[in-house]
Structures are given as C-alpha cells and as structure tokens.
Structure 1
C-alpha cells in the first residue's frame, strides 16, 4: 500500500494545506498500550481517496496543525470504531472531531453483528485485510515496512467502505439515525476511571479473596505497577493477574515456592523473587483491623411492578429489533429500558426526555415502548 511517512513538522504543516480541499479523510490511530505501561498515541494514519499518510507524533511533535482539518465539519472524517481514537486524540493531542462518520456504527444500523473492520470490509468491499500486526508495538522505532503497510491499509479503504455503507443506509432510510450517533461520538472525551475503588480491587477475581488476601493483592499489585512503570511495559508482561491472585489466596512461604505459581517463571523468581516475597510479607503484616474490605452492597427492595414493566419493554424491544433486523442491545440497552420503566413516559416527547434515549430510538421503537411502559 503506497504511503508517505510524515516525520517533519514543516511537512505536516504543508500536508494540512494539501488536504484542506478534500471532502473526506479516513482516520485511524495506533497506540502502545498492549506492550507499554505508558499508553500513548504512537501513529496517526490519514487517507484521502487517492493518497495515504502516516504521521509520526514522536518526530513531528505537536499535532496541533491538524486541528483545523479535524474541526472542519465540511471535511468528513471516517473512522472505524472511533471511540478510542477520539479519546486518545483528545488526551494526547488536544484534537477534537467535527464531521465524523463511523463505519462500525453505520454497519450496526444495517443489522451487522460481526462489527470488526475485517468483517465489514470483506462483506461490503470483498477485501481481506491483513491482521498480522494487530498486536504490534507501535511505540518502537523504526517501524518495519510491514507495520507501515498494515497501518496504511487500515485507512486506505475507509472512503470506499463509507460510500457503500452510506448507500445502504440511505436506501433503508436510516442515514439520519446514524448521523445522530455520529454527532454523539464527536463529543467523546478522555476520562479517567471513576468507579470509586482502588486499582487492585478492579482485578478480576479480587472479590473472591478474603480481607487478608486483599491486603496481599494490594501489595503485589503496587509492586507490579512500580516495575511496569520503571520498564515501560504493560503490567501483564511483568506478571499476570492469575499469579497475583494465587499468591494472595495461598501466600508462598519463601522464594523456593514461587516457580510453582501459575505464570511465574523460575527466571522471574530469581530476578524478582525477593521483591515479590517482600510484598507478600507486607500484606501478611497488615493488622487485622486495617485489612481492606469490600463495602457492603446496598440492599434494594424489589419493585415487582417495575420488573414487570421492564420485561414488557424487553419484549417490545425484541419484536421491533426483529422487524428492523437490528441487534436488540444495539437498538436500546437494558439500562435504558430500566430508565423508561421508571419514568413511565406517556408521549414521544416524554420518552425522548428519558436519560439515554435518542431521537432515532423514539422514531424506530417509540410506539411499542410507550405501550409497554404503560403496563401496571
């Protein structure tokens, strides 16, 4: 796939001038989170209908010159599954998008269930896209020829894919539905996790641990974070969660026990065994009264009438989804159905005012939902 590699600030500025008159651009990003502790925007791909560009943010420095293009609603920016791209462009480059077209959203409105770019491109363009560099370390330099080829291919076909999907959406009268979701996606911004728990408590399986095990997990998790930060490696590449959970549930007595832990090699035991055992011992030394504990879950009284309304709403959603050929969860989520059940709207205007409800959902399923919401 022919492409130009942009690594000079002056060339980036000139590129903006060249692309100013383009009606649309395919856009994608590559980041380093799979391999690195410090996830960061590592490559930006742009494609017009005729040219492909790879922008190296490490070399060009500020990506601010692209702000004009990205903010211009007259230049359509085509992504596939734009959510993370929009977030990382906001976080790392301060770039915001106007004029977004998301081929994944478009495909979902056409009833597709397999929404990966490869699946959609094969069905609508007859293309098989390469996959071998999906897990590549995009922060490495220099990028290999194969990595650059793969990256350019990711955006090169987006303009043609957009054309096919848009044609299908217009034929079904659903283009304005998709445009509503595109506008919402444009407003996506980077936000940190705010679930109120410390990071170690978000480890899958942590809830099964006793308080003492949680204390050990907390120390092991903190140790792993420090090593990963120091080496700029993804945490699972230092030591997997299963190993942390095993040691938390059944603490090893000394370094000699470590190679028996799932995923903890003898080499790791030799290199880091003393540090790991020190973390385990810190967890074992926490006084009983200071052990971490899961907060007690709030007890909710069952509302049988509400449950009945939500079940009725689910049935209505399923019927409409089948008629439209859409995935029921895409048509409207369970959480939104619960909000509708609580609000019991009586008019389309009241339905649209329910948190999470879109205008297109009112148009597509409003009559059926309003009837179901009136159930007593």
Structure 2
C-alpha cells in the first residue's frame, strides 16, 4: 500500500474520486478539533481502499457532496472504527447519512476483545503501536505537518484488513447477523445537539445543582458570557475560562478589576481584554430579583414498584448467566435499558417481546424464551 497523500485541491479531489470509483470497500474516519474549537466541525476526512490511503482537507477541495454520495451508496461498504461521532458530524455539518456500514469497534465488542479501542486492535492484529502525540492536535491548523498526516492516515490504513479479520471471526461464531442488525441501527445515527437554548448548559456543569440560587444566577450569567465569547472566537470554552473560574466567581463574586485580578485562573491578558465583560456579567447576576433567580428543578421521586424491581433483578441474573455462557460483557449481550423495558412491559410471548423498541431480533432468537420464562416465574399480586 502506498503512503498517505494529502488531497487539498478540487483537482486532486476529483482524481482521488476517480481512483476509488467502483471500490466495494472504503474505510473512513474524520478529525475534528473540539479540544481547540467551539464548533463541532470536520477538519479532515481520511479515506482508504485496500490499495491507497488519502487524507482529504475539507477546507480546500470544494463541495463534499461526492463523499456524501459514497456514504449513502448501498453498494459500497463503509468501514469505521466507532462511527457514532463521525456520523453525527457528517449529519450536522453536511446532512450526509450512511448505509452499508461495518464498525470495527462494534465487531470487537461482539468478539469480547479485551481492548476495543483502535490502538489496542492494531497492536493485537498488526503489531502497530499507536502514536499518541496527536490525539489532541489542532486539526483546524494549517499547514498540516508530515507526522500529522501519517498519524491521521493510520486511523484508516489498516481498517479494511481489520474488518476482514473481525468479520471472519464473527462468521465463525455465528454472530455476524447480530452485528449486522446493530450496524443497521447505527445507520440511523444523527446529530442530537440542541439548538433551542444554546446556553442552557450551565445547569449541567458538575456542581451546579449544589449552588444556592444567587450563585446559580451568577453562574448562568458567567456561563452565557463565556459561551458567547467562545462561539465568537470559535475557541473551546475551557480555553476562554475554565469551569473552576466560573464557580469561584459565582460563589465569591468580585466587584472590581483589582479583586478580579487576584482570582486564580484570571491571567493578565484575560483581565485586560475581558475584565470589564466578566464584571458586567457578575453585576447582571447580582441584580436579578430574588423572585426571578433560577432554581434546580427536582425530578419527582419514582414510586417504588417492588414487583417491577423483582422482575428486573431476576432478568439481570439470567442475563449475567447467559453473558458468561456467550463470553460477552453483560452490557453488550443485553443492556440494562433493554431489561428495564422488558420488566416494565412484561411481554407475554416472543412476538410481543420483539415489538419492544429496545429489543433486537437476534436477542429474541438467541435468548428471548429465557427472558419470558423469568417473567412467567416472577411473583405477581
């Protein structure tokens, strides 16, 4: 296989597309820059066939519609490792959706591989030690260095062969149809980030729900200031101001530049360039009337249901026993969320079991009756 090449112009992109046309198998990966940038965006697309590897620069090649067409083409199998985030970004930024997938991470899970990360699999099957220097690289930066290109290419250069190895093992174990069903569901992966209230995330910060209402109001104003500035600069939020700084100011608000300058995490540059805006955010938080202060909405306590709990625990015991027999992690064989749905609905037969959204067809075939037997034996009032 030839070394990776950078495709960063419309003409070289067109040439690459001509080369891969008709290839039945393509390995694909993407690189974003969420450690550096505020907006989730694709800055590189790695593409490999069995014979070549290319690193595509979306900033230079023009329209990426041909990539969208390849992703959607059911006659071309697309190989990813942990496709979830890649598919979400393709959907968010371009509206691209994929069909005919193979995900080596999902395959590794159903083979009970001790390490399901790409690095672990490349080490096991190819003796390749992953280079970790660029795990948090700024892929939005240009120009890309040779070592960065090599690193990026390594994410797809072995994927086609790795797919062959894992697929053969799945077929041997009779689990390929299990994985095929999981992959069909993966095709429906979409971006789910909310845009309705872009700055409502302050409540999700660790420790926010423990604050008093005034501190929570201050945290909200500081959070909005940070997110608006981060969005404007397209810079990762923590690079503008860390959460610990926001909490410090929310719990111990300052009123002057001198006080602000003594806060740990507020450097001279931040004080000089952003100090007035930070103090203004604090003043807004302090000025909110008591009646309008935000408060933590408590989730109503779930009414205890001893019979449901008993069914769920019995289902878990059977699932755990089966996981040992199949030599799979319990959460791979049948996640707790699936068992919770079964325990809640109490289907009476295999057809009803298979109608549950959380239940897979292969699970019904493999151990559906065992789950129904548990429900039938569970005590009821």
TM-score band by shorter chain is over 0.9
Query: 2: CA distance between counterparts of 1:214 and 1:365?
Result: 49
Query: 2: CA distance between counterparts of 1:141 and 1:109?
Result: 39
Q: Give the structure-1-normalised TM-score.
A: 0.94
What secondary structure, in the 3-state scheme, does the structure 1 residue paired with 2:301 have? coil
Q: CA deviation at 1:253?
A: 4.5
- Alignment check: 8 A CA contact 2:218 2:250 kept: yes
Query: 2: CA distance between counterparts of 1:318 and 1:195?
Result: 41
Query: What is the Cα-based RMSD across aligned positions, in Å?
Result: 1.9
What secondary structure, in the 3-state scheme, does the structure 2 residue paired with 1:58 have? coil
Q: Which of the numbers 236, 243, 246 marks the counterpart of 1:244?
A: 246
1:80-229 alignment runs, 5 A limit: 80-193=81-194, 198-229=200-231
Task: Tell me the residue number matched to 1:46.
Answer: 47
Query: 2: CA distance between counterparts of 1:259 and 1:49?
Result: 57
- Alignment check: 8 A CA contact 1:309 1:373 kept: yes
- Alignment check: 8 A CA contact 1:258 1:266 kept: no
Query: 2: CA distance between counterparts of 1:36 and 1:250?
Result: 29
Query: 1: CA distance between counterparts of 2:61 and 2:363?
Result: 43
1:188-234: CA deviation from partner (whole Å, max 9, x where unpaired): 11222389892211212111111111100111001111221222210
Query: 2: CA distance between counterparts of 1:85 and 1:341?
Result: 34
- Alignment check: 8 A CA contact 2:110 2:328 kept: yes
Structure 1 stretch displaced more, 122-131 or 25-34: 122-131
Query: 2: CA distance between counterparts of 1:156 and 1:356?
Result: 35
Query: 1: CA distance between counterparts of 2:296 and 2:8?
Result: 50
What secondary structure, in the 3-state scheme, does the structure 1 residue paired with 2:294 have? coil
Task: Tell me the residue number matched to 1:17.
Answer: 18
User: Structure 2: which 5+ residue stretches go unaligned?
Assistant: none
- Alignment check: 8 A CA contact 2:40 2:89 kept: no
- Change in CA separation of 1:350 and 1:194 when aligned onto 2, cut-off 3 Å: farther
Alignment of 1:31 with 2:32, yes or no, is yes
Structure 1 stretch displaced more, 5-14 or 85-94: 5-14
What secondary structure, in the 3-state scheme, does the structure 1 residue paired with 2:102 have? strand
Query: 2: CA distance between counterparts of 1:137 and 1:358?
Result: 39
- Alignment check: 8 A CA contact 1:29 1:85 kept: yes
Query: 1: CA distance between counterparts of 2:223 and 2:135?
Result: 28
Q: CA deviation at 1:368?
A: 2.4
- Change in CA separation of 1:218 and 1:135 when aligned onto 2, cut-off 3 Å: same
1:136-188: CA deviation from partner (whole Å, max 9, x where unpaired): 11111111111111111110010111111111111111111111111111111
- Change in CA separation of 1:59 and 1:290 when aligned onto 2, cut-off 3 Å: same
Alignment of 1:322 with 2:332, yes or no, is no
Q: Give the structure-2-normalised TM-score.
A: 0.93
Structure 1 stretch displaced more, 65-74 or 41-50: 65-74
- Change in CA separation of 1:254 and 1:113 when aligned onto 2, cut-off 3 Å: farther
What secondary structure, in the 3-state scheme, does the structure 2 residue paired with 1:41 have? coil
Q: Which of the numbers 345, 348, 357 marks the counterpart of 1:346?
A: 348
Query: 2: CA distance between counterparts of 1:42 and 1:156?
Result: 18
How many residues are paired up? 376
Query: 2: CA distance between counterparts of 1:289 and 1:305?
Result: 43
What secondary structure, in the 3-state scheme, does the structure 1 residue paired with 2:55 have? strand
Task: Tell me the residue number matched to 1:276.
Answer: 278
Task: Tell me the residue number matched to 1:369.
Answer: 371
Q: After TM superposition, what 4+ stretches of structure 1 lie above 6 angstroms from structure 2?
A: 194-197
Query: 2: CA distance between counterparts of 1:365 and 1:257?
Result: 65
Q: CA deviation at 1:367?
A: 2.6
Task: Tell me the residue number matched to 1:232.
Answer: 234
User: Structure 1: which 5+ residue stretches go unaligned?
Assistant: none
